[in-house]
C-alpha cells in the first residue's frame, strides 16, 4: 500500500499541474474525486480537521495521509531489511533484481521521516554493498575468485559482470557443476 500511495501522489501532482489547479479548495476537491474506499474516507476525515482548505493545508493533509498509510519507522525498517536480510531469489534474473533495488532506493525520498523534513536515498556505495551481500554465497565466491572489485565499479558494470560471468555459469539443476578448462 505505501508504494501505491507514492505512485498515486506522483500522478496526483502531475494531474494538479496539468489541470492547473492552483487553489487549495480545488486540490481538495480534485483528490476527493480520485480517491475511493478507505483512502477517501480517511482523507475526508483529515480534511475536516485541517481547515481552511489552502494549498499549504492540502500539503499538510497529504503528509497526514502518508503517516497514516506508512507503518511506524518505515524508512528505518526498510533500510534495515535491505542491508541485513535481503536475498536474491533464485528464480529472478540479476538485472531485474538490481533494477528493483534501485527503484526502491529512489522512492525512499517519499517516505515519512521521524527526525527530519525528508528521507534520503542510499548512496551508491551502500546500494552496491546491498547487492553484493544479497547474492548467493556461490556468486560472492566467484566475484572473489575472479578478482572483481565491486566497490570500484558502477552499479551497471556490476550487473553486466554478474550477467556475463556469474549468472550464466550458475548451475541450472542441483548438483550440476560447470568445469572451466
Contact 66, 10 (CB under 8 A): no
Whole-number Å distance between alpha carbons of 18 and 7: 16
pTM score > 0.75 for this model? yes
Which tens digits make up the pLDDT trace of 21-78?
999 999 999 999 999 998 899 999 988 998 899 999 999 899 888 888 998 889 999 9
Residue 1, pLDDT > 90, answer no
Whole-number Å distance between alpha carbons of 55 and 59: 6
Q: Which residue has the higher pLDDT, 105 or 173?
A: 105
- Write down the pLDDT at residue 113: 79
Residue 171's pLDDT band, with cuts at 50, 70 and 90, is low
Residue 176, pLDDT > 50, answer no
Radius of gyration, CA atoms only, the chain:
22
Which residue in 168, 170, 94, 172 sits closest to 132, CA to CA? 94
Range in 32-41, 102-111, 114-123, 129-138 the model is least confident about? 114-123
Whole-number Å distance between alpha carbons of 43 and 130: 36
Whole-number Å distance between alpha carbons of 96 and 126: 18
Contact 95, 159 (CB under 8 A): yes
* Residue 75 CB contacts under 8 Å (≥ 6 apart), including other chains: 108, 111, 112, 113, 114, 119
Set of cell numbers at residue 1: 500500500
- Which of the 8 DSSP states describes residue 123? P
The secondary structure of 61-85 as a DSSP string is: HHHHHHHHHSPTTHHHHHHHHHHHT
As a whole number, mean pLDDT of residues 68-92 equals 92
Whole-number Å distance between alpha carbons of 104 and 69: 17
Amino acid at each position: 500500500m505505501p508504494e501505491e500511495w507514492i505512485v498515486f501522489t506522483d500522478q496526483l501532482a502531475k494531474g494538479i499541474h496539468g489541470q492547473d489547479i492552483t487553489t487549495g479548495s480545488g486540490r481538495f476537491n480534485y483528490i476527493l474525486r480520485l480517491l475511493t474506499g478507505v483512502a477517501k474516507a480517511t482523507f475526508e476525515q483529515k480534511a475536516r480537521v485541517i481547515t481552511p482548505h489552502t494549498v499549504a493545508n492540502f500539503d499538510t493533509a497529504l503528509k497526514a495521509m502518508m503517516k497514516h498509510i506508512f507503518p511506524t519507522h518505515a524508512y528505518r525498517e526498510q533500510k534495515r531489511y535491505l542491508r541485513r536480510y535481503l536475498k536474491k531469489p533464485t528464480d529472478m534474473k540479476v538485472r531485474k533484481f538490481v533494477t528493483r533495488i534501485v527503484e526502491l532506493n529512489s522512492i525512499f525520498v517519499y517516505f515519512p521521516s521521524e527526525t527530519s523534513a525528508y528521507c534520503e536515498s542510499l548512496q551508491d556505495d551502500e546500494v552496491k554493498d546491498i547487492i553484493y551481500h544479497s547474492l548467493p554465497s556461490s556468486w560472492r565466491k566467484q566475484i572473489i575468485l575472479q578478482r572483481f572489485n565491486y566497490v570500484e565499479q558502477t552499479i551497471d558494470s556490476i550487473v553486466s559482470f554478474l550477467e556475463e560471468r556469474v549468472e550464466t555459469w550458475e548451475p541450472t539443476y542441483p548438483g550440476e557443476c560447470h568445469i572451466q578448462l
